[in-house]
Chains A and B, each alone.
Chain A
Amino acid sequence: MAEATLPRPDPVPAPSRSRFADPGSDNDGDSGGGGGAGRWLLRFDKAERIVHWVNAVLFGVMLVTAGILYLPPLSAAVGRRQLVVTIHVYAGLLLPFPLLVGIAGRTWGRRLRADLRRLNRWIPEDRVWFRRRGWRPERVTGLKQGKFNAGQKLNAAFTGGAILVMLATGSIMHWYKPWPLSWRTGATFVHDWIAIALFFTITGHMLFAFSDRESLDSMLRGPISRKWAKQRAPRWLAEETATPKPD
């Protein structure tokens, strides 16, 4: 296992190669390719960014309304229980759709599907990331990570699972008539604790995003510098560089 941790020299990216030459589903050529051809890689295309930000808004609505329903001082300050419940329930029912629509498109879903595949697959370096507690980037300098680090992979898997479990438990809570009481109590129990976990994982996700402005910027605009990729995602950089240019 330890062998995998040894930093290896990175393949030198061909300086003239730019992913932005690619006229794929997105329209980002102007946002970074033009001047410094080869200095930028497309990290997230337009479809991925839209899915991300629609999800972000929905999660925000879910957390705010959850707080109003759940914390007595907020409940008392806002009131309007039925309205808040309705907003919470419908935002929750919408939550799976951005991702489903995002991956459904033959063309526009291509990069999102590839990234989900990357998030799903764990490589030996991911174990090293956890062992070195890689959430501080300087501890994993030189580690040949892929496009996503192990923390991002775990967060993605947890959030994906949480969406499904919250959908199921929330539905039992809201349409409670067919279910035995013990299931309703159990569903409430699961829903409450996962909500608390999500509060912390989403807060953590945002703190990490703000601590790496370049990474955050790529979720807003799409491209990221080769320099960043070389430091944080060298395996991805190698993948991108090694890809034969499609015609």
Chain B
Amino acid sequence: MGTSEPLAAASAGTPIGRRVVLGMLGLGAVGIVAGGRVQDALNRFLQPIEAADPTGLSQLIPAAGGFRIYSITGSLPFERPSDYTLTIDGMVQNRLTLSLADLKSLPATSLVKDFQCVTGWRVPMVHWTGVQLSALLDQAGVLAGGNALTFDSFDGAYTESLTISQARRPDVLVAYEMLGAPVTRQHGGPVRMYVAPMYGYKSCKWLSRITVVNKVVPGYWENLGYDVDGWVGKSNGRSDAPTA
């Protein structure tokens, strides 16, 4: 009855399969403990290659530099630069509706800073141009009790937050240029936030609205477990070098 396997024949030989599995577990453990250092070395080695690679093929290599495109809705949001408006409302004296041309007519600030993602990748020396958020807040006139900001994306789903004092830092921009050109659709164009001292998820892409509120309302990824005060190197259990 049953398929009585010829046990003796099946058991003959050396149990190399088991050794391969155990060896992989050992190597995997070593990789978890020491792989970070290997990855850093690879990053340093690959970043110049990636920067000079017009094909983008080097992005297929783990740890190579370059932006990864994270979006939370179905297709990439799109808005024509000519139709674009940014609304600033909530606890303000003057509600503002600004076109891209309005933003560009304001004093521009340019920064060259690293972009650090909370998932580990970092793009060095990214060129950003835009309007300091503090200037827009001054123009709108924040009312007493307006202690925080909520950022909305025109993807219809993404939100972010900052306290007013964080938002007034000089390295927090409403950016319309990135990498030396208008912000592309993939990177959150025509207009996105750039919050230099914080992890990438704090820099809301496809920015459509900034609302002054009385207290911080955690944003999209923050509701999914990321820190609200997303300082690079001092939050989310990470120790990356600061970006600002």
Q: Which residues of A contact B (CB under 8 A)?
A: 19, 22-25, 42, 45, 70-73, 75-82, 107, 110-111, 114, 117-123, 126, 146, 153-154, 156-158, 160-162, 164-165, 168-169, 172, 176-177, 179-190, 192-194, 196, 235, 239-240, 242-243, 246-247
Contacts and interface: CB of A to CB of B under 8 A. Distances in A.
B32 A186 contact: yes
Contacts of B38: 189
B2 A110 contact: yes
B56 to A, nearest CB: 8
Contacts of A153: 16-17
B186 interface: yes
Given A123-B12, A192-B63, A164 B35 contact: no
Given A114-B7, A186-B34, 19 more contacts: A23-B1, A25-B3, A71-B59, A77-B75, A110-B5, A120-B16, A156-B17, A158-B20, A161-B21, A161-B28, A185-B35, A185-B39, A186-B33, A186-B39, A188-B35, A194-B28, A239-B10, A240-B6, A246-B2
A19 B30 CA distance: 46
Contact of B32 (A71, A177, A187): A187
Contact of B15 (A73, A111, A121, A160): A121
B24 A121 contact: no
B95 interface: no
Given A71-B60, A79-B72, A121-B11, A190 B35 contact: yes
B105 interface: no
Nearest to A23: B1
A189 B62 contact: yes
Given A154-B20, A181-B237, A107 B2 contact: yes
Nearest to A82: B72
A186 B71 contact: no
A95 B56 CA distance: 32
Given A120-B17, A154-B20, A161-B20, A24 B2 contact: yes
Interface size class of B (residues with CB under 8 A): 35 or more
5 tightest Cβ-Cβ pairs between the two chains A and B: A161-B24, A186-B35, A192-B62, A121-B13, A189-B35
B82 interface: no
B16 A122 contact: yes
Interface string B19-62: 01111110110011111111110000000000000001001101
